[in-house]
Amino acid sequence: MSAPAQPATASNPSELNLPIYMDNQATTPLDPRVLEAMMPWLTTKFGNAASRSHSFGWEAEAAVDHARQQVATLIGASPKEIVFTSGATESDNLALKGIAEAYRERGNHIITQVTEHKAVLDTCHRLEKSGCRITYLPVNSAGLINVEDLRSAIDETTILVTIMAANNEIGVIQPITEIGQLCRERNVFFHSDAVQAAGKIPLDVNAMSIDALSLSAHKLYGPKGVGALYVRRRNPKVEIAEQINGGGHERGMRSGTLNVPGIVGFGQACEIAAQEMASEAERLRRLRDRLRERLKSALDQVRVNGSLEHRLPGNLNMSFAGVEGEALLMGLSDVALSTGSACTSAALEPSYVLRALGLGDEIAYSSLRFGLGRFNTEAEIDYTADRLIEVVQNLRELSPTYEAAK
């Protein structure tokens, strides 16, 4: 089996290597600048950051501290508020379970939404089994919650609201600042899974009144297996009950030897994202709109799922009536796309996110997620559009449901 082609670079927009990678909401390629920063820590600089008796450990600890500052800067936090984890799933678990346990005497009510990532939803289901009461807010056809629904759901036993900043399937950005202000008014902690949003849109934990926030390196061109949880230290101070015991690392919230190479890469990825976010967002928005217009002008019975106004610049989720998404993926074997979340893509049932928007199963099954990223080019957009138009037209000729859809 031949090795996958390297992604084309933005500096060579006419370059076209197959297969094309367009699933950047699932994971992103490692930025070469991130790899360069990591390499010494994978080879000669191998110290344990918790080793305080020699230079190898001191050097590793200094590198971790620098990365902590880089991550904190991206979200407007203090470096002391960054807890390194193995990824966003662990961060979500630590935030929800840790707050629920630490404040169990104050209340047992947690509020989330039906379109959250499974890392939050499954954690909430687990907390329900241990005595927590969970409210799952609906979303409208654009994928947005109604803040008034949230206001009505908060009661005297509510301790936590957890609403993701941007959805991993449809890219819809929730009104995070408004949610944060409401939570602050009602003296309720606010956690946000910001995995898809970080590095793509501006985030400021203080301006947005966020008390805990989950991050993952591999969604912003960093390495897999490393993430972080922001935990507010003052106004208000957030207590987190540790979920992994042993050694008291990371302010006692998350024990375990730190992944120094991964953390260094995470920090570098955050610094690059902070510097290039504005220009990259504009370029991705232009490419996304080009793809959308190409598809809509050539095909009928095509719809964008979720709000286009409140949306990540690199995300496009579209339905093609009369054609199953899985059949489209098989016909587009030289373009890496998905029909939904990478964490649930093996499931045969239609996306729970799309169904929450009010879409019927048939339309939900006909959906594709395009995840555009840093290394995608205009040539790749045009190639993907041409191939997809061809495949959709061919499949529709064989589809008994297409005429019915029309």
Active site residues: 343
Residue-level pLDDT at 348: 67
Residue-level pLDDT at 1: 40
What is the DSSP track for 162-177? E--SB-TTT-BBP-HH
Residue 23 makes CB contacts below 8 A (sequence gap 6+) with 336, 337, 338, 342, 369, 371
Q: How far is Cα 230 from Cα 193, in angstroms, rounded to an integer?
A: 10
Identify the DSSP state of 250: G
Residue 10 lies in a domain: no
Closest to 402 (Cα-Cα) out of 320, 281, 284, 313? 320
Per DSSP (E only), the strands in 312-358 are 315-320, 335-336
Please say which residue of 250, 271, 292 terminates a domain. Answer: 271
* Judgement on whether residues 235 and 311 belong to the same structural domain of the protein: no
Residue-level pLDDT at 279: 98
Residue 290 makes CB contacts below 8 A (sequence gap 6+) with 378, 381, 382, 385
Residue 230 is part of which domain span? 32-271
Residue-level pLDDT at 353: 97
Instruction: For the chain of 406 residues, list the mean pLDDT of each consecutive stretch of 10.
Output: 46 74 98 98 95 94 98 98 97 98 97 98 98 98 98 98 98 98 98 98 98 98 98 97 89 89 98 98 98 97 97 97 92 92 58 95 94 98 98 89 68
Residue 307 lies in a domain: yes
Report the CATH number that the domain containing residue 60 is assigned in CATH. Answer: 3.40.640.10
* Judgement on whether residues 295 and 243 belong to the same structural domain of the protein: no
Residue 3 lies in a domain: no
Residue 142 makes CB contacts below 8 A (sequence gap 6+) with 172, 306, 307, 310, 357
Structure tokens that stand for 37 in this block: 């920063």
Q: In the chain, how many domains are there? A: 2
C-beta separation of 24 from 31 below 8 A: no
Report the CATH number that the domain containing residue 370 is assigned in CATH. Answer: 3.90.1150.10
Alpha helices in 20-173 (DSSP H): 32-42, 55-75, 88-102, 118-129, 147-153
